[in-house]
Amino acid sequence: MDYRIDFERLEWEIPFEGVRHKFLDQNGTRLRLVEYSENMPPHWCERGHVGILLEGRMEIEYVSETVLYKKGDGVHIPSGEEHRHRAVILSEIALCLFVENINNKVVTLNED
């Protein structure tokens, strides 16, 4: 078993405009390096996220509040509609590292 993940060797993928990511799936868990840019379209997400903001600044709007995140801040968002959220990138990019359950729901694109 290889205990080290060499992100330099993983290819960037672009799941949709303004977002690119690299990831490794193992035993039902995904370790995902995500780069968000300012031109990411507004969208609601119901996927859970646990991770850290490595670079940049962003606001995440939740149902009942908006929270500002900066470099070094941790993120812990449970999965589900009641925890839906959408981010606005406040710097050129925001780089995050997430540990995710592979079976979580996917992103829902809309501008509401």
In the chain, which ranges are E strands? 13-16, 19-26, 29-37, 44-45, 49-55, 57-62, 66-70, 74-77, 85-89, 93-101, 107-108
Q: Rounded distance, CA 104 to CA 112, Å?
A: 22
Q: What is the pLDDT of residue 47?
A: 87
pTM (predicted TM-score): 0.85
Q: Rounded distance, CA 80 to CA 24, Å?
A: 23
* Closest to 104 (Cα-Cα) out of 81, 75, 72: 81
User: In this predicted model, what pLDDT tens digit does every residue of 18-35 receive, in sequence order?
Assistant: 999 999 998 888 999 999
Q: What is the pLDDT of residue 105?
A: 47
